[in-house]
Structure 1
Amino acid sequence: MSPIRLSDLAFTLEAVIDDAFGQKAVWVVAETSDIKNYPDRGYCFLTLVERENGPTGRHETLAKLDACIWRKNYHTIRDFEQATGVAFARNIQLLLLVSVGFSPVYGLRLEILKIDPSYTLGNIERERQAVLDALVQNYPDLVWQEAGQYITANQLLPRPTVIQRLALIASPGSDGWRDFRHELKQNSFSYDFVVDEFLTQVQGQGADRAICGQLERIRSSGVAYDAVVIVRGGGSQLDFGSFDTLLMGHTVAGFTIPILAGIGHERNVSITDLLCHESVKTPTKAAAFLIDHNRLFEEGCLQLRDRLSVAARDALQTAREQIDVETERLRFVTYTYFRDRHTELTEKAVTLRHLDPANVLRRGYGLLLRNGRILTQTTDIQSGETLQIQMHDGTITTKVVEL
């Protein structure tokens, strides 16, 4: 068989492929790899791959093709990121509309015309739902559903009345760490917080194990923390993968200290957000939540102080009025008592004046005396003895002649 020129083979392949796929577009599912993005030039080169788990558990590559996005369709990257919150990066499984082209010089290449964001969002949601279902099924004492809401043991922990001692999990030197510490320190109420830092990676491969390792350190430290705070700055949905794992969900749901999560922006809700004690959207809002929590306690104390002040003032006013009433009553009772006693004394004085022997003698009575002793009975008197009779105006001597 006579050999043919390479160009003849290439032109033949080009004709065959053009005949089969020319002017056609097909939807394919593939994973991104080896991305070379040139935003300033408006084009992107990448490799699309398909993998499956092999007998040993390792990923085996079934297919690999080069692909590109030219300037006219470069907006599809921005559209995809805005629709999903997922950064266009490697190792993402996408649903792509592509056209197939072959160049004798550059070989086979797929041109990406469109990326379907709903497929990516659906994949993320299906994976998250599978994790939540596994948690509910395998750990019903830690995670369960009520009225369509996920309830966890961590959510039901009592929240301290005042939160002061914190364990902070964050990436060292990150914006999230910096925003949280700044907001907490600069609070307008001058509240003091004690913050012990447990710094670690919070995104990327193995981040969930690193975070759970820090949670275990906190648990075994023996320190009575009021709360654990996990913070990170915003990012793409894929950056939240470490907060959507089964390990992270199980650890957070059953953790014995209330966990406050401030790990994303408004559009990001992770499994950790759903299962922790309290979730806010950013590190700054996490700090604000703690400040507001303590402010509510202080306002309650201030309200109680005001109520106590009013109650004390009212009680004193009532007591003053009662004292005035009792004083007036005492004054009246005292006046009446002394008036009555004065009347009694006056009556007794009159009686005493009437009973005074001198007054009795004035009325014509006399006193029979023996040597100055008053005699009141005839049996005490003997015939022939000499006695005295005291009259009003003097005393006379008399002799008893006969009894």
Structure 2
Amino acid sequence: MTPVRLSDLAFTLEAVIDNAFGQKAVWVIAETSDIKNYPDRGYCFLTLVEREAGASAGGTLAKLEACIWRKNYHTISEFERTTGVAFARNIQLLLLVSVSFNPVYGLRLEILKIDPSYTLGNLERERQAVLDTLLRDHPELIWLEDGQYITANQLLPRPAVMQRIALIAAPNSDGWRDFRHELAQNPFGYDFVVDEYLTQVQGQGAERAICGQLERIALSGIPYDAVVMVRGGGSQLDFGSFDTYLMGQTVAGFPIPILAGIGHERNVSITDLLCHESVKTPTKAAAFLIEQNRQFEANCLLLGDRLRVVAREAMQIAREQVDRETERLRFVTQLYFRECHTSLAEKAVTLRHLDPSNVLRRGYAMVLRNGRILTKTTDIQPNETLQLQMHDGTVEVEVV
């Protein structure tokens, strides 16, 4: 067998591949790996991989080198802007590629376009699969009503005033800093007691770290008004810890209202769907607490105003009633005293008529024994001396 030069073989491969794939573009599904990105130069090198379904590391079916040149480099930023997912390793993508072979650099795929809808669909399918599993496994914690997810955590009563807060955040992170600053600088001067449960909130093991802090909070025995989970902005992949089965189960059944402000504007995580209240950013989480307390204060002030009005009206009604009763009492009292005066006048006339001096003046006399009036003849003994009281004086008489 006659050997051939390596260059001849390489040129032959180049011709064959160019004949098969030249001037053609192919859509392929592959997973990214070993990315070397050079934004300042406007190009990117990476490896595209296809793995066996469910296989662990090493179960690789295919691996090809790929690149994105300057003319198509904008597709990376467009993909990130559309999906909210950072262009990073271990993402499955739908790519439009051209195939080329260079005798020196070998076989390489040039990426012409990235389809964002495929990635968004994958993320949504994975999220929906987790939600469906939660619905099946924990119907007591999460269920559907009119197409909306309802959880036990959402149905917890919200305190009228929320001041004792358990905060889950990454230490010294932007999310932690924004939340604390917004609370401290609230224009109403409200005081908050914030106990920090600091932990990682992204990356491998983040979901277990967050759930571990939630368990610490539940076992603390401290009557927190709410648990606040905050995180600064980032790519969609950075929010993976908030889209897991464990996180959904823990949040849905947690015994204290959970407020999530995990810093994303585009997509809604499983934690957002199942927690008591979800806002977009850590700053808005703090603003939510402030507004909750401001609303309570406004209601108290409104009730105070209503109480003053009602008290004023009640006092006015009572005053008018007292005036009416006073006038009635004055009338009744005057009538009573007038009747008493008439009665006393009549009695005075009667008394004057019954006055003994007036009776004696009319010719009558009184028989006395030692100053005591005698009214019966049987009380008088013969030969005793009695007094006879007349109008102009007293005389002694002897009974015969």
Q: TM-score, normalised on structure 1?
A: 0.93
1:155/1:258 contact within 8 Å kept: yes
The 1:360–1:255 alpha-carbon spacing in structure 2 relative to 1, beyond 3 Å, is same
| Corresponding residue SS for 1:65 | strand
Task: Tell me, yes or no, if structure 1 residue 50 matches structure 2 residue 50.
Answer: yes
Deviation digits for residues 263-320 of structure 1 (CA, Å, limit 9, x no counterpart): 0222121000001111111000101111111222222222222222223222322222
1:338 is aligned to: 337
The farther-off stretch of 26-35 and 152-161 is 152-161
CA distance in 1, matches of 2:4, 2:282: 67
Question: In 2, Cα distance between the equivalents of 1:29 and 1:296?
Answer: 52
Distance 1:271 1:298 in 2: 33
When structure 1 is superposed on structure 2, of 379-388 and 268-277 the one drifting more is: 379-388
The count of aligned residue pairs is 400
Contact 1:52 1:59 in 2 (8 A): no
Mapped to 1, the partners of 2:170 and 2:297 lie a distance apart of: 32
CA distance in structure 1 between the aligned counterparts of 2:399 and 2:54, rounded to whole angstroms: 160
Distance 2:368 2:395 in 1: 10
**How far apart are the structure 2 equivalents of 1:274 and 1:19?**
52
Structure 1: distance between partners of 2:197 and 2:399: 130
Whole-angstrom CA distance in 1 between matches of 2:117 and 2:287 = 34
Higher deviation after alignment, 156-165 or 384-393: 384-393
Aligned position for 2:38: 38
Letter of the 1:87 counterpart = A
- Tell whether 2:94 aligns with 1:99: no
What's the secondary structure of 1:123's corresponding residue?
helix
Query: Where does 1:108-119 land on structure 2 (aligned, <5 Å)?
Result: 108-119=107-118
Query: Which one-letter code corresponds to 1:61 in the other structure?
Result: T
Identity of aligned residues (%): 81
Read off the aligned partner of 1:33 and give its amino acid letter.
S
Paired position in structure 2 for 1:231: 230
Structure 1: gaps (5+ residues): none
Structure 2 spans left out of the alignment, 5+ residues: none
- The alpha-carbon deviation at position 236 of structure 1 amounts to 1.4
How far 1:396 moved relative to its partner? 6.3
Q: Match of 1:20?
A: 20
1:255 maps to amino acid: F
Give the Å deviation of 1:116.
Answer: 0.7
2:67 equivalent to 1:68: yes
Distance 1:277 1:325 in 2: 57
Q: What are the within-5 Å matches in structure 2 for residues 72-83 of structure 1? A: 72-83=71-82
Query: Residues 85 and 353 (structure 1 numbering): CA distance in 2 closer, same or farther, change over 3 Å?
Result: same
Partner of 2:141: 142
**Cα deviation digits, residues 65-113 of structure 1 (max 9, x gap):** 1111122212211221121111111111100011111111221111111
1:211 and 2:210 are equivalent in the alignment: yes
Question: Hey, what does 1:310 align to over in structure 2?
Answer: 309
Q: Counterpart of 1:2? A: 2
| CA deviations over 1:26-62 (Å, ceiling 9, x no partner) | 100001112122222222211111112576x445111
In the alignment, which residue of structure 1 is the partner of 2:194?
195
Contact 1:53 1:59 in 2 (8 A): no
Give RMSD over aligned pairs: 2.1
Relative to structure 1, is the Cα distance of residues 131 and 360 closer, same or farther in structure 2, using a 3 angstrom cutoff? same
* Distance in 2 of aligned mates of 1:146 and 1:198: 33
Instruction: State the distance in 2 between where 1:170 and 1:350 align.
Output: 102
Q: Aligned equivalents of 1:35 and 1:371: distance in 2?
A: 145
2:178 and 2:4 mapped to 1: Cα distance?
68
Matched residue SS, 1:322:
helix
Query: Separation in 1 of the partners of 2:380 and 2:22?
Result: 171
- Determine if contact 1:225/1:257 at 8 Å carries over to the other structure: yes
Alignment partner, residue 366 of structure 1: 365
Aligned partner of 2:247 in structure 1 is 248
Relative to structure 1, the CA distance from residue 330 to residue 65 in structure 2 (aligned partners, 3 Å threshold; closer, same or farther) is same
Partner of 1:80, secondary structure, is: helix
Which digits, 9 at most, give the CA deviation of each residue in 1:121-144, with x for residues without a partner? 000000000000010111111111
Instruction: Flag the 1:387–1:162 CA change in 2: closer, same or farther, 3 A.
Output: closer
| Compared CA separation, residues 359 and 114, structure 1 to 2 (3 A) | same
8 Å contact kept, 1:86–1:237: yes
Name the amino acid aligned to 2:344. L
**In structure 2, C-alpha distance between the alignment counterparts of 1:71 and 1:385, rounded to whole Å:** 161
3-state SS in 2 of match to 1:195:
strand
In the alignment, is residue 347 of structure 1 matched against residue 346 of structure 2? Answer: yes
2:221 matched residue in structure 1: 222
The range that moved more, 116-125 or 134-143, is 134-143
Name the SS of the counterpart of 1:240 in structure 2.
helix
Structure 1, 158-167 or 275-284: larger mean CA deviation: 158-167
* C-alpha distance 372-231 of structure 1, shift in aligned 2 (>3 A): closer
Distance 2:383 2:166 in 1: 125
Of the structure 1 ranges 357-366 and 234-243, higher mean CA displacement relative to structure 2 is found in 357-366
Distance 2:383 2:110 in 1: 171
One-letter amino acid matched to 1:179: D
1:222: how far off? Answer: 2.6
Cα deviation digits, residues 231-276 of structure 1 (max 9, x gap): 0011111111111011111111121221111002221210000011
| SS class of match (2:61) | strand
